[in-house]
Amino acid sequence: MGLWVCGDIHGHLDIRKLNTEHFPMQKNMTKKDYVLILGDFGLIWDYNGISREEKNWLNWLNSKNFTTLFIDGNHENFTRLNTEYPIIDFCGGKAHQIYPSIYHLMRGEIFELAGTKCFIMGGAASHDIRDGIIDPSEWEGGIHSEGFRRKVKEFSNERKSFRVKGTEWWEEEMPTSAEMLYGVENLAKVNNKVDFVFTHCAPTSIIAQMGFYDHDQLTDYFDTLSFCIEYKEWHFGHYHQDRKIAPNFYCHYRNASWRLA
């Protein structure tokens, strides 16, 4: 029984980091071994429902020797993720079961994974929306209306950084105050002590060390937690880097072979 982590896979775009060429250790793994993706899973994405490509990749992951776990990032279809899959008890916390051996670990939960105690809080603020969100509901006919299509074409021609609400961006990307409070309450139940913290984005003080200076309610929340709880290591994705920051913070992207337990 073991626990590995890797960074964002963005649906089919970066999932090949989990093939046998890039992750050869899986040949000796079993379904009792866990590979945890640190957000931007992206294989539940198509707003029209599961696509053939998504189904093929989910079947591919499900057929692996290991069990796949993921936390949510900012690039997930939260409408589908939160409504299409059953919530089950899994390793001490709540999870959405996507496939027989694919699970979404829900926000604010604490899981027992490979003999370790792990705190999970998904979500992050998108940084590829600086020019705005286009909401199809502002036009009669929604995404099929001429006005909506004109606006998307205009933004695209001007090379603006934007996303479309309900098809490629969801406001649920950021945890609610209730979800963050729920995480605090669950940590209190274990005397504010865990082995690992797994998130998609990082605490404000850590991203400042990485050269990113934008902060928000979630990164500030993580900053407070980082000084108020005990943990051995904190692992996150989101920033498309593989590096260690400070004594015990680790950013992951391409490395799929980082074993923690």
Q: Which of 235, 207, 219 has the alpha carbon at shortest distance from 180?
A: 219
* Whole-number Cα distances in Å, 4 to 98, 200, 237, 261: 19, 15, 14, 7
pLDDT for res 162? 86
Query: Residue 237: CB partners within 8 Å, gap ≥ 6?
Result: 7, 8, 37, 38, 39, 40, 73, 200, 251, 252, 253
Which residue type sits at 23? F
pLDDT for res 256? 65
pLDDT for res 14? 92
Instruction: Compute, in degrees rounded to 10, the torsion defined by CA atoms 233, 108, 60, 63.
Output: 80
Note down pLDDT in tens along the chain; length 261 residues: 899 999 999 999 999 999 999 999 999 999 999 999 999 999 999 999 989 999 999 999 999 999 999 999 999 999 999 999 999 999 999 999 999 999 999 999 999 999 999 999 999 999 888 899 999 999 898 889 998 899 989 999 999 998 999 999 999 999 999 999 999 999 999 999 999 999 999 999 999 999 887 899 999 999 999 999 999 999 999 999 999 998 899 999 987 667 886
pLDDT for res 148? 81
